């Protein structure tokens, strides 16, 4: 849980910094480029990566008894990951990329450590080889992205800087984060809805299409081929559609009315498909020498954050909405029969005001798209642009604050039976 909560804290801080960057851009006072680098790496390294690693620990069965000293063996990895993240951000601030490179090595060591732990636990739980190798591919993409990042930081192959940067970004973002998050949705959603798992006849083709699409998309970026990128987008959309149909069938066959967790996970899938379509439209727009629609910095921010906020942050909050109550209840009340009332109380807190929480995040993300399209008709400094900017700011921040308050309430709520063991 320490990984999950710390990762979410990084996400919140990075989101606030990102909103500050947006406000500065709209008001004609853009922040320095190193601020954007801090925002991106705080969100993806300190936030998303750390939450993914914590999710593996939370969802995979222990290979040793709870409370044993081996549970503390992940503390060095936790410290290395967060120390590396802080050092990386300091390196960007000081424009000292050797510090960034050294910090990246520390982050890489932590990720290798956690990958080893995840592999050990997955082997202990004896999952299907299909699931195991799915995550092996994701971790290989992560290590590839880290390796390219090290080459950038230490100035290796400067003549290939653009290609290295694209590989670094897309291997980490597409090859690792999105692949793992999709796997988490497929695994978690049936559990959240208290129903059977998804259909293998749809799941396996969806996995193949998604992995092929991601590999083709990275290849298309590295070769600067819009045609390959569009083909990759088609594969990704086909795979994502199969995933969505599969999970919708799971939801329709469920007796459950839904929770904050299932709402976030489903909305996240919608934004994933929406982002894929937008990406294909961006590719088509760039095919001609003179783009049909102008595409500037604000449009790029809106497009990328449909995935970063709409997909990654939505699904991260969905995973936390399910995992945190379950982890607290399990650690504080070992007896499964006595645990249910306490777990129900925690889940009730997490589901309160879920419409405002999910709606604020969703509308705030969509608002970024509206904000970008307004610039095609009105000047950047107009009242409409500024009003929409502050509307997005309010919606996104209110959702994050509401969710953070819920987490604090969950952590402070103890079982009614004071004799129950408390973590």
Confidence of residue 418 (pLDDT cuts 50, 70, 90): very low
150-154, 200-204, 249-253: range with lowest mean pLDDT:
200-204
User: Does pLDDT of 195 surpass 90?
Assistant: no
8-17, 82-91, 341-350, 372-381: range with lowest mean pLDDT:
372-381
6-15, 123-132, 195-204, 370-379: range with lowest mean pLDDT:
123-132
Q: How far is CA 201 from CA 208, 215, 391, in A?
A: 12, 22, 43
pLDDT at 17: 93
pLDDT in tens, 235-263: 989 988 888 888 888 777 777 677 899 89
Instruction: Tell me which of 54 and 38 has the higher pLDDT.
Output: 38
- The stretch 375-381 carries a mean pLDDT of 84
Length of the chain: 423
Confidence of residue 379 (pLDDT cuts 50, 70, 90): confident
User: Does pLDDT of 26 surpass 60?
Assistant: yes
First vs last C-alpha separation in the chain: 11
Q: What is the mean pLDDT of the chain?
A: 84
85-94, 121-130, 188-197, 343-352: range with lowest mean pLDDT:
121-130
Confidence of residue 94 (pLDDT cuts 50, 70, 90): very high
pLDDT in tens, 102-137: 999 999 999 998 888 877 766 655 455 556 777 888
33-47, 58-72, 152-166: range with lowest mean pLDDT:
58-72
Contacts of residue 121, defined as CB under 8 A and 6 or more positions apart, other chains included, come to: 56, 57, 60, 61, 62, 63
Please tell me the pTM assigned to this model.
0.86
- The stretch 33-57 carries a mean pLDDT of 91
30-39, 201-210, 302-311, 318-327: range with lowest mean pLDDT:
201-210
What 3 state SS string does the chain have? Answer: CHHHHHHHHHHHHHHHHHHHHHHHHHCCCCCCHHHHHHHHHHHHHHHHHHHHHHHHHHHCCCCCCCCCHHHHHHHHHHHHHHHHHHHHHHHHHHCCHHHHHHHHHHHHHHHHHHHHHHHHHHHHHCCCHHHHHHHHHHHHHHHHHHHHHHHHHCCCCHHHHHHHHHHHHHHHHHHHHHHHHHHHHHHHHHHHCCCCCCCHHHHHHHHHHHHHHHHHHHHHHHCCCHHHHHHHHHHHHHHHHHHHHHHHHHHHCCCCCCCHHHHHHHHHHHHHHHHHHHHHHHHHHCCCCCCCCCCCHHHHHHHHHHHHHHHHHHHHHHHHHHHHHHHHHHHHCCCHHHHHHHHHHHHHHHHCCHHHHHHHHHHHHHHHHHHHHHCCCCCCCCHHHHHHHHHHHHHHHHHHHHHHHHHHHHHHCCCCCCCCCCC
User: Does pLDDT of 408 surpass 80?
Assistant: yes
Contacts of residue 43, defined as CB under 8 A and 6 or more positions apart, other chains included, come to: 10, 11, 14, 15, 18, 308
Q: How far is CA 197 from CA 130, 249, 299, in A?
A: 15, 10, 38
User: Does pLDDT of 279 surpass 70?
Assistant: yes
Q: What percent of the chain has pLDDT over 90?
A: 35
Closest-CA residue to 275 (of 321, 225, 335, 217): 217
User: Does pLDDT of 417 surpass 60?
Assistant: no
pLDDT at 128: 53
Q: What percent of the chain has pLDDT over 70?
A: 90
pLDDT at 63: 45
pLDDT at 60: 67
pLDDT at 406: 94
pLDDT at 420: 41
């Amino acid at each position: 849980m320490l990984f999950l909560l710390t990762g979410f804290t990084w996400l919140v801080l990075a989101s606030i910094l990102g909103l500050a960057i947006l406000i500065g851009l709209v008001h004609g006072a853009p922040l320095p480029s190193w601020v954007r680098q801090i925002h991106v790496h705080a969100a993806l390294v300190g936030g998303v990566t750390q939450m993914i690693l914590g999710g593996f620990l939370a969802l995979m069965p222990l290979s040793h008894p709870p409370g044993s000293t081996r549970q503390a063996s992940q503390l060095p990895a936790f410290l290395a990951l967060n120390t590396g993240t802080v050092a990386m951000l300091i390196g960007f601030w000081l424009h000292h990329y050797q510090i960034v490179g050294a910090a990246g090595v520390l982050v890489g060591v932590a990720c290798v450590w956690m990958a080893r732990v995840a592999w050990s636990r997955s082997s202990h739980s004896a999952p299907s080889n299909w699931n195991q190798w799915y995550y092996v591919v994701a971790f290989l993409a992560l290590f590839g992205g880290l390796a390219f990042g090290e080459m950038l930081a230490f100035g290796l192959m400067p003549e290939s800087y653009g290609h290295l940067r694209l590989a670094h970004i897309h291997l980490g973002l597409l090859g690792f984060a999105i692949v793992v998050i999709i796997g988490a949705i497929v695994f978690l959603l049936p559990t959240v809805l208290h129903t059977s798992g998804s259909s293998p006849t749809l799941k396996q083709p969806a996995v193949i299409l998604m992995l092929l699409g991601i590999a083709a998309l990275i290849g298309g970026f590295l070769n600067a081929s819009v045609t390959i990128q569009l083909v990759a987008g088609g594969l990704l959309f086909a795979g994502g559609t199969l995933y969505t149909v599969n999970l919708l069938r799971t939801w329709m066959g469920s007796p459950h009315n839904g929770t904050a967790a299932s709402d976030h996970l489903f909305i996240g899938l919608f934004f994933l498909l929406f982002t894929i379509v937008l990406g294909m439209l961006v590719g088509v727009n760039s095919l001609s020498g003179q783009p049909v629609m102008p595409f500037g910095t604000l449009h790029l921010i809106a497009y990328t954050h449909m995935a970063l906020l709409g997909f990654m942050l939505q699904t991260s909050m969905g995973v936390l909405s399910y995992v945190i109550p379950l982890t607290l209840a399990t650690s504080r009340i070992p007896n499964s029969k006595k645990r249910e009332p306490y777990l129900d109380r925690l889940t009730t807190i997490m589901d309160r005001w879920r419409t405002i929480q999910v709606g604020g995040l969703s509308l705030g993300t969509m608002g970024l798209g509206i904000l970008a399209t307004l610039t095609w008709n009105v000047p950047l400094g107009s009242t409409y642009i500024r009003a929409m900017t502050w509307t997005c700011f309010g919606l996104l921040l209110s959702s994050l604050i509401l969710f953070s308050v819920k987490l604090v309430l969950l952590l402070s709520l103890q079982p009614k039976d004071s004799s129950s063991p408390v973590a």
